[in-house]
Amino acid sequence: MRSEPMRLKADEQNAMNRSTRSPATRSMRYLGQTLSRTAAKRAVAGRGRYTDDVVLARMLHAAFLRSPYAHARILGLEVEAARQQPGVALVLTGADLKALCTGPWIGTLSTFAGMKSAPQYAMAVERACWAGEPVAMVVARTRAEAEDAVEAIGIEWQELPAVVDKHAALAPGAPVIHAELGDNLAFRRSIDTGEVDAHFAAADLIVEESFEFGRHTAVSLEPRSLLAHYDPTTGKLSITTSSQCPHMIQRVFAATLGLPDHNVQIIAPDVGGSFGLKIHSYGDELATAAAAIELGRPVKFIADRLESFVSDIHARENWVKARIAVKRSGEIVGFDLDVLSAAGAYSQYPRTSVFEANQVLNITGGPYRHKHYRARASVVYLNKPPSSQYRAVGHPIGNAVAEHLVDQAADRLGIDPIEMRRRNLIADDAYPVVGASGIILKDLSHQRCLDVLVERMRYAELRQEQAELRQQGIQRGIGIAAFIKGTAPGPMGYYGSGGAPISLQDACVIRLEPNGGIICAVGVTEQGQGTDTIMAQIAASALGVPIDAVRVISGDTDAVPYGGGTFGSRGAAIGGEAVYQAARDLRAEILTIAGALLQAEPASLDIVDGIVVDSGGSRRLALAEIGRICHFQQGELPNDLEPCLSHSRRFRLLDDPYIFTNGIHAAHVEVDVDTGFVSLIKHWVVEDCGRVINPQLADEQVRGGCVQGIGGALYEHLIYDRSGQLVNGTLADYLVPMAVEMPDIDVAHVETPSSLSMLGAKGVGESGTGAAPAAVMNAINDALRPFQARVSSQPITPERILSALGKI
Amino acid sequence: MSGEERLMISLTVNGESVSRLVPVRQHLVDFLRLELGLTGAHLGCEHGVCGACSLRVDGVLVRGCLMLAVQADGAHVVTIEGLDASGEIADLQQAFVERNALQCGFCTPGMLMTAADLVRAGVPRTRAEIRAHLAGNFCRCTGYQAIVDAVSATLNKRLSEGGGHV
């Protein structure tokens, strides 16, 4: 197996470039083409198959008793009455479950030096540390009966002081959630390029601001779902679950339940939204699997919406105090920031709760040329549900902070926001560049993206319109936000190297069937973004077969090669590259076989539309014929030719921690300064995800991501009271973006292929979410500029706007 | 438990007559999913906000999680499976696929049930009006624009072809 980085040869690169323009180009014909998804056809017919749609014989249903307190000791737990309820098959307490597990989870990674977290059991034992933590489980004939029986569990609590406010978590005398940790600090990290204070002192202008970011959660429409079945005769545990990372779940569940990995099968059927929520291991899901083993019967758990709000991972709750130093010319000298990041009661196993703060430090101000940078982050534990990775991890925070400061500095210097960025963006011909935070940036295109944006949004005309409308008392604002996005993480300094059982490599096994059909099994997973479709496009293009000849298999650990799954915008960039290379290997073998059968030089042959052609373009041998001979009539082959017809490739980044992407957003909003309401008029994104494999799917990733970001900027907020109770745990009270409030979003791409792979694809799924909040906040502040008012905390509610305007 | 009290109901589901003894507390969408295996309607919130369980009951769009199965006694219920089989929204479904007006697909049956109401009314609608009509259906994936595009294209095509379907 080889793993050195490969580059496209010039002729291959040219062929691929041609192919993106002309579908008729014989090779690479499907790259750059919009093709519809088969999964979409199933979904519109009501034939989607999600975990809750799967019904097994003798299946039972799980429901959970959850802690009503943010922090409380369990003094007594009486479950006999529950056991006597109709239909009940099993009741497990946290202590019962502990006895069935090999040990607790500890959500630390050695890559984060000094990080600490307390041991966490799948259900609370002795003490609950957040409102919503599972405490006991009932398994019954129906979900309704299980829920009834949960109410019959008797429990005596002693409420303990809760740590709810991140600003008070490290104060002297603050209650300590886990005494063995000594305090509530999870992790600290700092970056300092040196003498930052001196460089700031020498600058012409320093702008300082504080930012609060509200706590969010992913709100996938399909809640977390798991159906476990254990066959005691074979010792095999089969789990169907709404997951992005089947192999990680396999490993974590097998280890925790004391089973060998290879006897645990994880199937991810249709997944109804994920956004990072479904890359984690959850105690209630593990409890469901443990119950299935205990009972030898299938057990299903489907979270309801309130359970989702109080037990899905949370994210985004951060406070940042930041400064920018600039010269009169507009040149950015540096950024200086302090981050206080609010984890939950435990660091989420196995990915931890510190990546968010870590990413804020990595990417803040990342588009710019400044050399001076100081950033410090503290991550603290609170009596709230654990926080962890959620779409665009840390980027919405870092981008909002930096872009706000850049705009404020530009305003104070009298420089237009576009011009301010033009003067500071890293030049397109400068790469590779090591950013001020130490990140490695390659193959980016900030300047080109800015130019495309200005043209597409008709910036000058919008500014003129804005000025005219102001005369009429209409307050519109234009907000710009440049960004970088870390995508497709590599193994260096990441999960695996820190001890997490998560592969940063991904894989493809591709094979030729007797009829000439291609089966392409991939480790990355599909949650609606169209991964399966683009894998088929890549395989068909690399092989030279019609797209309908390829069927992609994903989301089943029994059927696909080992991989990390889908997270961090890695599907196309990592998984797609594995498919590309595996398909090339299969193509090479097919041509070798064809050469033997045709007595021709393999190098003189090509595959076009599933048929081997010679150098003159004559059709010589169909893949169906090669499949037939190699699978059924091997006597026609020379003795020294042993067909394999199944090729495997694994791909990972080598030295680079990420494939960074870049782009720029613009938001156009109108603010009603009497009510504080914000209307979104339009949004633009120009981004560079490298080679675009399916333009429609790439655009829709950006659009959906933008709206998720806008939701966070304007509406979404998990509101906790002082006792640690979530007070808005319904979809009516936790506001998500709906069709009526959202704008149309104009999306364009600049394609700078990544030099880290042959295919050149980068991640695209988080580029909308990462910078939309920054653009919207800047647009609102642009609208408020005539009133010398500004907002810097999210969600930007009408209340916050009216408060900024001094009206309340 | 009172929850186990059962009543006999008879109704028409996607044109077929169905009679079942159902728990009185069972929601209509649970009845369809658990008793009839009609899993096209999805449970997103179970409190009437997300729209993923939208159904047509006696010609009216309802939330399957806010109606009890016993309330549907004698009713004509149409689910996404029924709309699919009848061909009533074949054009809308095709537009959704071509425009990629869905990603994970979990909201899609409810979104289509809701959009079907709009396109069959055969009244010209602006994008803003389409957005308002869909305002009770939560989609976390698409950002809605592609859905609005698909509904708008279908409606306009029907209007240009001489009125909406019934």
How close is the nearest chain B Cα to the Cα of A90, in Å?
19
pLDDT for A5 equals 36
At B65-92, the pLDDT tens digits run: 999 999 999 999 999 999 999 999 999 9
Nearest CA in chain A to B84: A45
Domain around B125: 87-160
Asked if residues A355 and A393 have their Cβ atoms less than 8 Å apart, the reply is yes
Is residue B52 pLDDT above 90, yes or no? yes
* Among candidate residues A141, A153, A149, A151, the one with its CA nearest the CA of residue A300: A141
Question: In the beta sheet, which residues pair with residue A749?
Answer: A687
Looking at B83, B105, B123, the residue that finishes a domain is B83
Average the pLDDT over A70-92 and give the result.
Answer: 98
**B29 and B67 both lie in a single domain:** yes
pLDDT for A13 equals 46
Please, which pLDDT band fits residue A12 given cuts at 50, 70 and 90?
very low
**B141 and B128 both lie in a single domain:** yes
Looking at B52, B67, B83, the residue that finishes a domain is B83
How close is the nearest chain B Cα to the Cα of A624, in Å?
30
Enter the tokens of residue A527.
């949650």
A47–chain B Cβ distance below 8 A for any pair: yes
At A621-680, the pLDDT tens digits run: 999 999 999 999 999 999 999 999 999 999 999 999 999 999 999 999 999 999 999 999
Does the CA dihedral A786-A790-A796-A802 come out positive or negative? negative
Residues A105 and A388: their CA atoms lie apart, in Å, by 15
At A322-368, the pLDDT tens digits run: 999 999 999 999 999 999 999 999 999 999 999 999 999 999 999 99
B32–chain A Cβ distance below 8 A for any pair: no
Q: Is the Cβ pair A43, B41 closer than 8 Å?
A: no
Q: Is the Cβ pair B23, A144 closer than 8 Å?
A: yes
Q: Which residues of A640-662 are buried (b: 16+ CB within 10 A; e: fewer)?
A: eeebebebbbbbbbeebbbbbbb
A697–chain B Cβ distance below 8 A for any pair: yes
**B74 and B92 both lie in a single domain:** no
At B104-139, the pLDDT tens digits run: 999 999 999 999 999 999 999 999 999 999 999 999
Number of domains in chain B: 2
Residues A40 and B41: their CA atoms lie apart, in Å, by 16
Q: In what order do the strands lie in the sheet with A550-553?
A: A550-553, A518-522, A506-512, A646-651
At A117-135, the pLDDT tens digits run: 999 999 999 999 999 999 9
Q: What is the residue-averaged pLDDT of chain A?
A: 96
**B39 and B106 both lie in a single domain:** no
Does the CA dihedral B62-B64-B65-B66 come out positive or negative? positive
Burial of A334 (0-12, 13-18, 19+ CB in 10 A): buried
The letter for the amino acid at A364 is: T
Closest CB to A740: pick one of B23, B46, B131: B131
Average the pLDDT over A753-779 and give the result.
Answer: 98
Asked if residues A673 and A787 have their Cβ atoms less than 8 Å apart, the reply is yes
Q: CA angle at residue A505 from A116 to A535, to 5 degrees?
A: 130
Indicate which CATH number applies to the domain containing B40. 3.10.20.30
Q: Is the Cβ pair B93, A45 closer than 8 Å?
A: yes
Backbone angles phi, psi at B85, to 5 degrees: -70, -35
Residues of B in contact with A39 (CB under 8 A): 105
SS3 A47: coil
On whether residue B165 sits in a domain, the answer given is no
**B52 and B94 both lie in a single domain:** no
Q: Is the Cβ pair B131, A739 closer than 8 Å?
A: yes
Average the pLDDT over A727-739 and give the result.
Answer: 98
Enter the tokens of residue B162.
């001489």
Enter the tokens of residue A505.
């490599």
How close is the nearest chain A Cα to the Cα of B129, in Å?
8
Q: How much is the ipTM here?
A: 0.97
Question: In the beta sheet, which residues pair with residue A726?
Answer: A720
- Taking each helix axis from N to C end, the angle separating A283-295 and A246-257, rounded to the nearest 10 degrees, works out to 60
Residues A218 and A221: their CA atoms lie apart, in Å, by 9
Closest CB to B97: pick one of A40, A46, A302: A40
Is residue A222 pLDDT above 60, yes or no? yes
pLDDT for A27 equals 61
Which of B32, B145, B148 best probes binding to A when mutated, by most A CB atoms within 10 angstroms? B145
Q: Is the Cβ pair B39, A52 closer than 8 Å?
A: yes
**B31 and B66 both lie in a single domain:** yes
Enter the tokens of residue A187.
């992790």
Residues A23 and A20: their CA atoms lie apart, in Å, by 7
B97–chain A Cβ distance below 8 A for any pair: yes
Is residue A541 pLDDT above 90, yes or no? yes
Is residue A63 pLDDT above 50, yes or no? yes
Is residue A548 pLDDT above 70, yes or no? yes
The letter for the amino acid at A515 is: N
Q: Is the Cβ pair B97, A37 closer than 8 Å?
A: yes
Residues of A in contact with B49 (CB under 8 A): 730-732
On whether residue B25 sits in a domain, the answer given is yes
Question: In the beta sheet, which residues pair with residue A154?
Answer: A78
Per-residue H/E/C for B62-131: EECCCCEHHHHCCCEEECHHHHHHHCCCHHHHHHHHHHCCCCCCCCHHHHHHHHHHHHHHCCCCCHHHHH
Q: Is the Cβ pair A305, B104 closer than 8 Å?
A: no
Please, which pLDDT band fits residue A15 given cuts at 50, 70 and 90?
very low
**B13 and B74 both lie in a single domain:** yes
Indicate which CATH number applies to the domain containing B143. 1.10.150.120
Residues A31 and A36: their CA atoms lie apart, in Å, by 13
Residues A147 and A169: their CA atoms lie apart, in Å, by 35
Closest CB to B100: pick one of A275, A697, A731: A697
Is residue A590 pLDDT above 90, yes or no? yes
Per-residue H/E/C for A308-366: HHHHCCEECCEEEEEEEEECCCCCEEEEEEEEEEECCCCCCCCCCCCHHHHHHHHHCCC
Q: Is the Cβ pair B45, A219 closer than 8 Å?
A: no
Residues of A in contact with B108 (CB under 8 A): 43-44, 48
Is residue A10 pLDDT above 80, yes or no? no
On whether residue B1 sits in a domain, the answer given is no
Which of A715, A738, A747 best probes binding to B when mutated, by most B CB atoms within 10 angstroms? A738
At A560-573, the pLDDT tens digits run: 999 999 999 999 99
On whether residue B104 sits in a domain, the answer given is yes
Backbone angles phi, psi at A469, to 5 degrees: -65, -30
* Among candidate residues A603, A211, A597, A152, the one with its CA nearest the CA of residue A396: A211
Q: Is the Cβ pair B145, A742 closer than 8 Å?
A: yes
Residues of A in contact with B46 (CB under 8 A): 304-305
How close is the nearest chain B Cα to the Cα of A372, in Å?
37
Average the pLDDT over A36-43 and give the result.
Answer: 95
Q: In what order do the strands lie in the sheet with A60-66?
A: A88-93, A134-140, A60-66, A299-302, A225-231, A236-241, A264-267
**B109 and B155 both lie in a single domain:** yes
R_g of chain B, CA atoms, integer Å: 16
pLDDT for B3 equals 54
Residue A144's alpha-carbon distances to A88, A257, A289, B48, B100, in angstroms, are 11, 27, 20, 18, 36
Asked if residues A135 and A78 have their Cβ atoms less than 8 Å apart, the reply is no
A269–chain B Cβ distance below 8 A for any pair: no
Does the CA dihedral B95-B98-B100-B104 come out positive or negative? positive
Residue A115's alpha-carbon distances to A162, A319, A324, in angstroms, are 22, 20, 29
**B99 and B153 both lie in a single domain:** yes
**B37 and B97 both lie in a single domain:** no
B66–chain A Cβ distance below 8 A for any pair: no
Q: State the count of interchain CB pairs (< 8 A) between A and B.
A: 189
Looking at B83, B115, B138, the residue that finishes a domain is B83
A170–chain B Cβ distance below 8 A for any pair: no
Backbone angles phi, psi at A598, to 5 degrees: -95, -5
pLDDT for B163 equals 52
pLDDT for A9 equals 42
Q: Is the Cβ pair B42, A740 closer than 8 Å?
A: no
* Residue entry with tokens 């009829």: A515
Asked if residues A67 and A123 have their Cβ atoms less than 8 Å apart, the reply is no
**B11 and B78 both lie in a single domain:** yes
- Taking residue B114's Cβ as centre, other Cβ atoms within 10 Å add up to 22
Asked if residues A308 and A219 have their Cβ atoms less than 8 Å apart, the reply is yes
Alpha helix (H) residue ranges in A214-336: 246-257, 283-295, 305-311
**B91 and B78 both lie in a single domain:** no
* Among candidate residues A74, A75, A105, A71, the one with its CA nearest the CA of residue A174: A71
